[in-house]
Structure 1
Amino acid sequence: MSHHHINYLEIPVKDMTKTKTFFNRVFGWQFQDYGPQYSCFLDVGITGGFFESGNVFTTEKGAPLIVLYSSSLEKSQSSVIENGGRISKPIFKFPGGRRFQFLDTNGNEYAVWSE
């Protein structure tokens, strides 16, 4: 077994305040700020944070896809829309379950899956 594993994830965002508000309202995330341009997300399954940047990531640009889990896919999709996110791929089936992909308020692309 390898002694190397993914330990931390840093995600670029254009607007820290909008990002924290979006992820708190949609997924219930909490944050610890380290200055105005960096914020760690807490207890979300992996340790990491958001940092301010002018860049965005999407699968169309070849970026890795960050996939979140939800026990209620339809509720999560509705919440994304209600809080200013845009659906880039509506709910579809894939081997192992169903998922949708969305753009957050920065234009970054994520996916949410469920069984």
Structure 2
Amino acid sequence: METNMVGWFEIPVVDMERAKAFYDSVFEISIDIHDLDGLVMGWFPNAHDKVGTSGSLVKHSMYQPSDTAGPLIYFSCADLSEQLGRVESAGGTIMKPKTEIGGGHGFMALVKDTEGNRIALHSVA
């Protein structure tokens, strides 16, 4: 296999500006908004020369946020405590606090974003 299995992800949103503000705040990034003929996308920053993938927030009638259904996306962090500490002030909810995974696999936490999506944070520290 020449590349990682996952090449892109899309997170459903209801309010693009609210979702952008949440992710910009929690991860200290700047998401770029693009309207592709009614499919509104908020592209996460992409470091083409780094390991991993990028993705987008997506606003369209065929995308529905959920905190129980669908895939769970894990965002890699140096120490997830930093991002977790910004979740509530950005309008999100902590569903599961920082928890050791075990077996030397680091830590994880579950978060609900402002749109009602369940996402996860992961770090080795």
TM-score by length of 1: 0.83
The change in CA–CA distance for 1:70 and 1:5 in structure 2 (over 3 A counts) is: closer
In structure 2, the partner of 1:86 is 93
Match of 2:106 among 86, 90, 97: 97
Gaps in structure 1 of 5+ consecutive residues: none
**Is 8-17 or 48-57 further displaced after alignment?**
48-57
In structure 2, the partner of 1:43 is 46
| Deviation string, structure 1 residues 60-84 (Cα, Å, up to 9, x no partner) | 32x1110011222222211111211
In structure 2, the partner of 1:13 is 13
Alignment pair present for 1:66 and 2:73: yes
Gaps in structure 2 of 5+ consecutive residues: none
Identity of aligned residues (%): 27
In structure 2, the partner of 1:77 is 84
RMSD: 2.2
**Is 4-13 or 84-93 further displaced after alignment?**
4-13
Letter in 2 for 1:99: M
| Deviation string, structure 1 residues 4-57 (Cα, Å, up to 9, x no partner) | 832221221111001111111110222222227222111264232111146112
TM-score by length of 2: 0.77
**Per residue, is there more strand in 1 or in 2?**
1
Q: Distance in 2 between matches of 1:3 and 1:88?
A: 32
**In the comparison of the two structures, how many residue pairs are matched?**
113
